[in-house]
Structure 1
Amino acid sequence: MATVNIRRDVTDPFYRYKMEKIQSKIEGKGNGIKSVIVNLPSIANSLSRPPIYVVKYFGFELGAQTNTGDHDRWIINGAHEATKLQDLLDGFITKFVLCKECQNPETDLSISKDQNIIRNCKACGQRTKVDPRLKLSGYILKNPQQKDKDKKDKKEKKDRKKSKANGDENKEHSNSEEDSNKNGNGNGHVQPTSNLDVYAAEAGSDDEFTRTITDAANEISADGSGEGKHSFAIDTSEKAVRERQKHELTAAVERLTMGGDDEEGDDDSPYDQFAVWFDVQEGKPTDVDDIEIYKKLQELGLERKHKTPQVLAQCLFNEDITKQITPRAGMLKKLISSDRHEKAFLGGIERLIGKEYPTLLASVPTILHQIYEKEIVSEEAILKWGEKPSKRYVDTATSKKVKKAAEPFLTWLKEADEDESEDEDDE
């Protein structure tokens, strides 16, 4: 898809800040004619602004009503060509995105105590006011950019959680030598006792959170009943690897077209085509380049579909998922742009573990922790997903097993939120 510089007055082809060109289509006729902005979410994401701000700005400037529908169709009443909307977008960028000091688009919006809209520039650090006389300014004051504020709050919250966990760790440090002698080799190093321990050790993680979910995960057996403390060994012999690859290939189309969305599949659906393309790539799933994947999704018209994150969860990952999430985080964050995308991605993870790799049950807390840390899926979406079993992506019994395995992480999230609330009340 064609891209342009966010600042179109900058002609440098290597200018780092780019966005897609506006794509619009005119529908209806007579009094019912309307313009649909096809790729507005992608453009808004490049500008770090909610799509609703952009479409509202267009409405104010054109004197036309807007309709957001189900957030897939961003509609402006009347016939408006893409070139005209692109010119209007330049005005939005100048007034609500670019730093007034350095003209850099890398800004966030916040609302000050005196009800001024502030552009916070990440490049030069300046805080500049948005003109309060603009019509969109009134809308923003009534509808602040909650998602970005939540991201900042979540980051600060996570930092405080880590600090608190490290503080608890220091309190227990006096007992660590005795614990090491019991569980380790006598020199203070604890030997990993499960897959969760191994992955945590490889990631260099030794905080209280990892130890907490490790202890709980060790109680989870292969059937998710919570009985037993057996870790799961993965057969890495050449024969076993070949068998797994054969299994993945034959199950690909079936797994990509089952469950989890209202988009119908058929024998030659775009998802089937993507599955065939992906499975014939040479090497392991991790060898398929993110850019090539994104290009293929664009070619098939799948990059904005809500079911796509579910499909990717089942394509990109296998029994080594705990090592595969981080390298894919950038692409996944670009593709997962709504609550429905988040739900579908978690559903794909649930199906991957519950149906294809049940030996990963003990690693569910670690997997969710990585998804949360990389901000691929929001805390709210994870907690909502874990509320109760669902038959949307797998059968109810399997869903129950996966979500039971997730309980240590879900509990940690809830308790951390309660601690945050108490700390705020104390302040």
Structure 2
Amino acid sequence: MPPKVAQIPIKKDEDSTYRYKMPRLTPRKLSSGNGVKTSIINSADIAKAIGRTQALLTQWFGYALACQARINPSSSQIIMNGDHPAKKLQDSLYEFIDNFILCPHCLNPETTMEKKGSQLILVCHACGHSDPACVGSHATYIQKTLDWILSHIQSEQTKGQNVTQRAHGRLDEIDEYEKQKANEQNEATTGVEINVEEFKKIEAELDAQNQKAVERPTEAEENAYFEKFGKQLVGEETDAEIFEEFNSMAERGGWNSPTRCAIIFEYLFRGEPTEILNSIEDRRGFIIRVLNEDGIQKDFQTAMASFIEKKVPELFTSAPVIWHCMYNNEIIEDSAFLAWYTARPSKRFEDPEKAKKLREMLAPFKTWIETAEIEPEPEEDVKEEEEKPEEKAEDKKDDINIDDI
């Protein structure tokens, strides 16, 4: 059970007399072999205090810190790959609160969320205003969080809805709401007056939107994009910029998870396959963004296995180094690796004999993952850390070459 911690204002820079408070974020560093993870041991209490769910907080930290984040079901703690100082996490939490909690009009945290069209609306129960969230925020991780919320929330402005006020705009009530909605009688439709002209206008607008949404790119458009994509990966564009265009094209083209991974391998490693470790580190941020959905880490490892088995078999002996590089760069998690390793190889993408050989090469890495001890730091180390200048990624990055290893 997490230790009792101090209560601090939900709104940043307020004094101790501020009415609305939450527990101070309490992280703990966990070491797992050579990998380091950070847990937020009181994330459930924080989520309750600010009126949002742990699932949403987990998505926020994953997007904002560009790391793999998940909820540990046994301890109800948020676990993130990497070492994240307490001050950095607390500042990130306040940024989340500024964008998704505080009323844009009166800055009061008594808000709930509603979806109206393509907008996320913060409904303030203090001043009564309803205003769009994240106005003027253009950071990619904020937009991704906004998109995630919009795809997981139901507006309460639907006739016949029978959800309690406590569930108003909260993501953790969606499953229950959907069950109730499916079982409800369509009583609200009886005796409703319909404006035919307005109905036809709305229907035409929806048809136009649906037509636009399902419009797939032509073969010429895809080929032009692939050529551009290959140049982007070796160019100066940021990982976020590359991902934004890649994700847009993937949605238009209906690319499933294996297809996305296959495209990455085709264009990220086609130039110098033996420079695969450098390629992973160069575009780490892009790969993490692509894999930030359930199940894609498994498909990515299948694509890696297929790439080695079919195109660069000389890398068989380097497989443990490659997987260790993916693990250290937070591209795959230990649970995702073990799930892929123990599953039956895909006959569609892997040759059975070569797949068996590859997994034999990875057996030492599997043992290392399974036997790595997790040692939590002493609780006194959880105290708020002094602000320290962070090292630039460029200063820490070393060129890696498989031949050297």
| TM-score w.r.t. length of structure 1 | 0.37
Structure with the larger RCO, 1 or 2 (CA within 8 Å, 6+ apart):
2
| TM-score w.r.t. length of structure 2 | 0.38
